[in-house]
Structure 1
């Protein structure tokens, strides 16, 4: 299965969240820079950061080394972390949003709707099984409704979309869970623990990791960062 790719566009993602039952006070906003002044403009609290970045050879080399290092040294992963594998092409934007919301379900009072029901359906499933739910979603299932919402919003973007066109950019999410900063990428075999953080320092800590992505491909300017915030505007 291959979907239409989502734009890195807060308006599109906010409509998506509304369609699946996220209260309107939770918004996706652009992050215009990673220095302290730019970060200070982000409405607080910030529940998650979403990074869109180019998939270069340098990136794939980094992923290989990172995987080997984690497998050699191990890492601590809190049992309460919610993770989903990506089994559907061009679904990375939706999966990054799912990771952002699912890992903050204790802070977000979800409305009755698609996303709340989906979380209930896959609460006891493994990351692999959650990914399979999307890739094999049957008509009428919550996963199918979520995919339908993705397709509807992808078509509303400003860029012409083609599900068969290879997309060379990828969305991932950063969240704080039980005092640790996690990178959640459905194409990786496991979450990446980037070390201690707090709800107060999360933005600065996530920005530090985003800077490392940018520095690895400093000649490429095609990076976009967004934040999931709680704000009345």
Structure 2
């Protein structure tokens, strides 16, 4: 695998990934954290296009593949967009692309649509290189770099003292559930599924992977790439508005017409409230991402310098040391 090159590490956060997708030109798609794999939790997030699983990477010698794993690496599944991971720090964006570029109906935007068409006949290795060399994808990815003047020039590697986390994707493609892991040589086909049952098929696979690491690692993260709630709620509100207009024009013969109108108006009001919450959440995501990118070190440096000029720094340091001793 290539070194980190000029790709930065980015935080595994739904706000980061949602804005990253939007900045690539994708419309009507967002990312949310999955806190539970039960039916109710998953149903609340539908329609889900794919799942991204984050875990601490461990070598194959540390985590042998269980004999009961029915997934098979398939070099025949050329209809699946699968890219080998050729650079460490790009794996989060690569996991997202694995879902976006394998899901029909997502409005990719011009850049990703042209990228998908351009790389269609590429091998997995060439697809990985195409991602790492895409100026558009790299620029958007790096726009979420945390500002840090204290940079380690050594590339990240998996060792006892340096945790490295890895992203893989689960996505239904052409009637089969695939696990897309850029560290493997090919997509892993987990068998047939439908748009309705693929989440039930993915659930035991993710649970088994968690159990595999349970004795040594509890840090996992599961994210859903899904239709944006804003888009979903707005479409339903528009649909309700059309139904109400048809009722007013007498185009529908409905018993208990007044009760139907009241129910629709009530649903519309609830959707309006949910839309407001989504808009506030997206605004919060933007604010948080601005803070992630901002460099606070000059501010901290100047605060410390001003405290020193006013002879207040020594007392603050003494108080901090005293509090530390009391806590220990």
Matched residue of 1:229: which SS?
Answer: strand
User: Aligned-pair distance for 1:61?
Assistant: 3.5
Q: 1:127 aligns with which of 109, 124, 129?
A: 124
Structure 2 CA distance for aligned equivalents of residues 180 and 210 of structure 1: 16
Structure 2 CA distance for aligned equivalents of residues 230 and 172 of structure 1: 20
Quote the RMSD (CA, aligned, Å).
2.7
Q: 2:143 aligns with which of 105, 130, 152?
A: 152
Structure 2 CA distance for aligned equivalents of residues 122 and 75 of structure 1: 19
User: Is 1:40 aligned to 2:31, yes or no?
Assistant: no
Decide which structure has greater helix share. Answer: 2
Map 1:1-233 onto structure 2 (within 5 A).
1-2=3-4, 3-23=7-27, 25-42=28-45, 44-57=46-59, 61-63=63-65, 70=72, 75=74, 77-104=76-103, 106-112=104-110, 114-135=111-132, 137=133, 143-155=134-146, 164-166=155-157, 167-219=163-215, 220-233=217-230
> Highest CA radius of gyration, 1 or 2?
2
> Structure 1 residues 76, 125: CA separation in 2 closer, same or farther (over 3 Å shift)?
closer
Q: Is the 8 A contact 2:77 2:187 kept in 1?
A: no
Decide which structure has greater strand share. Answer: 1
Matched residue of 1:62: which SS?
Answer: coil
- For normalisation by structure 2, the TM-score amounts to 0.60
Structure 2 CA distance for aligned equivalents of residues 156 and 197 of structure 1: 43
Moved more, 7-16 or 118-127: 118-127
Greater RCO (CA < 8 Å, at least 6 residues apart)? 1
Structure 2 CA distance for aligned equivalents of residues 185 and 128 of structure 1: 13
User: Aligned-pair distance for 1:148?
Assistant: 1.4
Structure 2, gaps ≥5 residues long: 158-162, 231-328
User: Aligned-pair distance for 1:134?
Assistant: 3.4
